[in-house]
Chains A and B, each alone.
Chain A
Amino acid sequence: QKEVEQDPGPLSVPEGAIVSLNCTYSNSAFQYFMWYRQYSRKGPELLMYTYSSGNKEDGRFTAQVDKSSKYISLFIRDSQPSDSATYLCAMSGRTGNQFYFGTGTSLTVIP
C-alpha cells in the first residue's frame, strides 16, 4: 500500500467552478501537509502548508486536514484557466526530513 493515495484524474471543470482535490494517507505519524501546483515542464511550487488538523485559507484556496480520517483536501473557489495544472499533495512526519507525495491530479479549467 502506498503511503499517500491521490486520484490522478484528469479533472475538467468550467471556469468559475469550485474544485475539490483529495488525498488519503496511511501513516498516522504524518503531521505536516502540503499542496503543490506543477505546470508542465516546471518544478512543483508550494500552494498551501498546514500543520496537524484543521482548515487554512489563502485567497481562493482552502486546505483541510482531517487526521482522524487520514484525509486531506484542497478547495479552489472561482477556478480560472490559469489554475490548469497538476496538483500534488505531500506530507511528512514530526522530524520533517522525509517527504511523501501523491501521484498528482491533473486539472483543466475550461474558459
Chain B
Amino acid sequence: EAQVTQNPRYLITVTGKKLTVTCSQNMNHEYMSWYRQDPGLGLRQIYYSMNVEVTDKGDVPEGYKVSRKEKRNFPLILESPSPNQTSLYFCASSLSVRGGSNQPQHFGDGTRLSIL
C-alpha cells in the first residue's frame, strides 16, 4: 500500500530535550516536505526537499532541522524544543515538482507534539 508513515504519532516531552520525528514514504517520490498545523493558522511549510541531499527552508524553519540522506526518509529534528513548537506535524511527499511538472502531495497521518 502506498503511504507516508510518521513516527511517533504522539509525543509529550520537555523543553530542551532533542527529538526526532521520522517520515518514510514507499512511493519512490522525489519531493518531501514537513508542515505544522495550528488552529487559525492552517498548514505552514517548515522545510522541503526536492531530492536526496537537497533541502530548503519553507515559511517557518526556525528551530527545526531536516536531512535527506535517502530518498525514502526525511526526518524532522528539533534540537532544543520549546513550548511554541507544540503542534500537529505532517510529512508529505510527491512524485516530482520539477520544471512545471507539479504533482499533488500525499500526507502522513500526523504527529502530535506537546512540549512542556
Contacts and interface: CB of A to CB of B under 8 A. Distances in A.
Nearest to A45: B107
Given A97-B50, A99-B45, A104-B42, A43 B100 contact: no
Nearest to A34: B104
Contacts of A44: 43, 90, 107
Interface in B42-74: 42-45, 48, 50, 56, 58-59
B33 interface: yes
B41 interface: yes
Contact of B48 (A49, A97, A102): A97
Interface residues of A, number: 29
Contacts of B40: 8, 103
B43 A43 contact: no
Interface in A21-67: 31-32, 34, 36, 41-46, 49, 51
A111 interface: no
Contacts of A41: 109-110
A43 B107 contact: yes
Given A43-B90, A45-B107, A46-B106, A94 B100 contact: yes
For B56, B104, B106, which residue has the most chain A Cβ atoms within 10 angstroms?
B104
B97 A97 contact: yes
Contacts of A43: 4, 90, 92, 107-110
A96 interface: yes
A88 interface: yes
Interface string B17-58: 000000000000001010100001111110010100000101
Interface of A: 4, 6, 8, 31-32, 34, 36, 41-46, 49, 51, 88, 90, 92, 94-104
Given A98-B59, A99-B45, A103-B42, 4 more contacts: A43-B107, A88-B43, A96-B97, A97-B31
